[in-house]
A and B are shown apart, each in its own frame.
Chain A
C-alpha cells in the first residue's frame, strides 16, 4: 500500500478559497466513504476537520468542506484566514487498516 497522493503545497490569499486534493485507488479512497482530513499546526497534534468524506465535527467552521469523486477526495477551505495556515493530511480506510496522504502545506499569502 502506498500513501495517498497530495500536492506538497497550496496557497491562497485571505478571503479566497483553496482546494487540496487526495488521490488514491479503488481499494481505498474510491472504495469507501471513509475519507477524513486533519489539520496540523507546527509543534501541535493534528486535529480532525472532516470525516466520512464531508462531515464536520462539532466546532469546525463551515468554511471547511469535503467531497469525493472516484478515487480522488478534496478538501476546500473557503474564506481563507491566517490561522488556516497549517499542514493538512487526508486519510482513508483501505480494507482492514487506514492510510494517510503525504500532507499538504497550506500557506496563506
Chain B
C-alpha cells in the first residue's frame, strides 16, 4: 500500500526550532515529488513547497521562502519540514503529499496525503 506516515503532534514555544517528518512507503520514494501543505485552524489549504528526493531539487511558494526548510533523506525514504524559530502564527495542521506522476515535476497534483501533523505554538 502506498502511504505517507507523518510524525506526531507537537507543542512548542515561540522561538523554538522544530523538524517534522514524513515517511513514504509502498513506492519508489526517489521518483516522486513530495510536498508540504499548511492548513491553519478553520482555514484553507496553502501550498508551501516541494522536493524531489532523487536529486533534492526544491521549490518554495514565495509566501514560505525563507520561513521553512524542506529536505529529504532518500536512504530512509523520509521528507522533512523544519523551522528555526517558530511563531504563534505557525500553529496549523501540516500535510505531506506525494506528486501523482512517476518522475514528474512541481506541477504535479497530489494523489497521496499523509495523516497530518498538528503543530501548536504557544507561550
If A45-B95, A57-B100 touch, whether A97 touches B109 (CB-CB below 8 Å) is no
Within 8 Å by CB of A45, from B35, B44, B50, B114, lies B114
B47 touches which of A52, A57, A87, A99 (Cβ 8 Å): A99
- Complex CA gap A70/B112 in Å reads 29
Q: A74: shortest Cβ distance to chain B, in Å?
A: 16
The residues in A between 43 and 67 inclusive whose CB is less than 8 angstroms from any CB of B are 45-48, 51-52, 57
Closest Cβ–Cβ distance, residue B68 to chain A (whole Å): 13
Residues in chain B near residue A46, CB distance under 8 A: 37, 45, 95, 110, 113
Interface residue total, chain A, C-beta cutoff 8 A: 26
* Shortest beta-carbon distance from B92 to chain A in Å: 14
Which A residues between 67 and 109 are near B, CB-CB below 8 angstroms? 87, 89, 91, 93, 96-103
B62 engages A97 (CB within 8 Å): yes
- Residues from 39 to 61 in B contacting A, C-beta threshold 8 Å: 44-47, 49-50, 59-61
- Contact present for B115 and A34 (CB under 8 Å): no
Which B residues touch A98, using CB under 8 A? 35, 47, 50, 61, 106-107
6 more contacts with CB within 8 A, not counting A93-B106, A98-B35, are A1-B62, A34-B107, A36-B110, A40-B45, A93-B107, A103-B45
